[in-house]
Chains A and B, each alone.
Chain A
Amino acid sequence: GAVVSQHPSWVICKSGTSVKIECRSLDFQATTMFWYRQFPKQSLMLMATSNEGSKATYEQGVEKDKFLINHASLTLSTLTVTSAHPEDSSFYICSARGPSTEQYFGPGTRLTVT
């Protein structure tokens, strides 16, 4: 089956620093990848849709200058949380759209900002 990886699986950073999270589709090409955020005991919230070779489409209320998304190739999308603050601490999950409608999720990245 389709496999999506994320790196790192967890990261702790200091307030004010930037953190980059990678999302890779390992055995298929994904023209579209998605970034979600999930706070404890809450549902997945879509942050942005990332299309290879073009600018990401952000959901309402998500700051594009704070959450930088780059989809440089058909197998890699990155999310950079700039000037991170404690309230950005969350579980960040990416997914990649395969040949059909289904999306394949990465294992997630737990970000803790101290």
Chain B
Amino acid sequence: GQNIDQPTEMTATEGAIVQINCTYQTSGFNGLFWYQQHAGEAPTFLSYNVLDGLEEKGRFSSFLSRSKGYSYLLLKELQMKDSASYLCAIPSGDKIIFGKGTRLHILP
């Protein structure tokens, strides 16, 4: 089966950097997704990592270590609009299994 673990909530300050960690267990690895979800809205795709290492996309970067079953999402130069839930997810066959999400609060 699959298991995904990420912190429930985090708080950071506008302009700062925050790292949201995700650990996972899966029988067959086919990549890892990060999604952003604002309250009352559907998730939006942020990143998809298949290989080890850091992938940078503007202010957001995602890191993967397959041997450790570990990923993180790094958000730089935080803005108030980054207040949202961040969901770590892994494919399982046709499905995508989501973690419970990390609610990120940004303080001015």
Using a CB–CB cutoff of 8 Å, the interface residues on chain A facing chain B are: 32, 34, 41-44, 46, 49, 91, 93, 95, 97, 101-108, 110
B7 at the interface (CB under 8 A from A): no
A91 / chain B contacts, CB cutoff of 8 Å:
40
Using a CB–CB cutoff of 8 Å, the interface residues on chain B facing chain A are: 30-31, 33, 40-45, 48, 87, 91, 94-101, 103
B30, A44: Cβ atoms under 8 Å?
A: no
A108 / chain B contacts, CB cutoff of 8 Å:
40-42
A95 / chain B contacts, CB cutoff of 8 Å:
96
In the bound assembly, the distance between CA atoms of A5 and B77 in angstroms comes to 32
Q: A34-B95, A49-B95 are in contact. Are A102 and B101 (CB under 8 A)?
A: no
A43, B100: Cβ atoms under 8 Å?
A: yes
Our pick among B42, B45, B96, B103 for the contact of A106 (Cβ within 8 Å) is: B42
In the bound assembly, the distance between CA atoms of A67 and B48 in angstroms comes to 31
Our pick among B30, B33, B42, B94 for the contact of A93 (Cβ within 8 Å) is: B42
A102, B40: Cβ atoms under 8 Å?
A: no
B94 / chain A contacts, CB cutoff of 8 Å:
32, 49, 97
B48, A105: Cβ atoms under 8 Å?
A: no
B46 to chain A, nearest CB (A): 11
B36 to chain A, nearest CB (A): 11
In the bound assembly, the distance between CA atoms of A43 and B100 in angstroms comes to 5
Q: A107-B41, A108-B42 are in contact. Are A43 and B101 (CB under 8 A)?
A: yes
Closest to B33 in A: A102
Our pick among B30, B44, B95, B100 for the contact of A105 (Cβ within 8 Å) is: B44
